Amino acid sequence: MNRSAITTVVAVVAAFGVGLTWSYFTGSNQGSVAIVDLDEVARRIGRDKEMIESVQTQAGALNTQLVGLQNKAIQQLKAVRDGLNEDEQITNQEAQQFVRLQRSAQVQLTQLQQRAKVGLNQHRQQLVSQFRKDAQPIAAKIAKERGFDSVITRNDTVVFSFDEAVDITDDVVKLMSAEMPARPAKKTAPKAKTPVKKPAATATAPATSTTN
């Protein structure tokens, strides 16, 4: 092998060796998976409180409407009862009609309460889904910059152990804090139209987590 060929081989080997050394000391993450804790991100940037406040606002609006409808139904029932002639004996038919009216009002209230509960859960899911959509491109950007091929969340995946070097939660918090700070969220509840009878139970805001 002539001197030129030997020099070329040595240069190639040296370059390859330098490449391996650089990859080792820079901690290349090619082919690796990054991990992010979305619940922690939401907590640290204040989005968890934002979501909770939005759900509570919706619950309060629904409760106000239910109480208003309850009072209206009570007045209607009272008017029907007062319309009965107290000087005369109430007939069995009148009594049965009044009972049916009460039962109907109770059924309507129960249905409204169930719809309110479903609506609150749907609202909560929409908030969680929006937060995940906001976090997804930011997490993907950070993962790509750090050489990761993909990102998984600790909230959806059972992760028994992992190297802290693959956790990008802190970086996601910093970038989302700068680009998408928490903001007051207002949500008005849909108006209920059916009058009801019976004390209205309060609509309880469900717990909010990015896990589900």
Residue 119's contacts (CB-CB under 8 Å, 6 or more residues apart) are 58, 62, 189, 190
The ranges assigned to domains in the chain are: 1-29, 31-179
Nearest to 69 by CA among 99, 100, 121, 111: 111
Question: Which of 122, 164, 125, 169 shows the shortest CA–CA distance to 143?
Answer: 169
Per residue in 153-205, pLDDT tens? 988 877 778 889 999 999 999 999 998 876 655 544 444 444 444 444 455 65
Query: Smallest Cα–Cα separation from 191: which of 51, 55, 68?
Result: 68
Residue 151 clears pLDDT 90, i.e. is over it: yes
Contact 53, 123 (CB under 8 A): no
What pLDDT is recorded for position 17?
32
* Confidence category of residue 16, pLDDT binned at 50, 70, 90: very low
pLDDT at 25 over 90: no
Both tokens of residue 85? 């002639």
Angle (CA) 133-138-140 rounded to 5° is 95
As a three-state string, the secondary structure of 61-74 is: HHHHHHHHHHHHHH
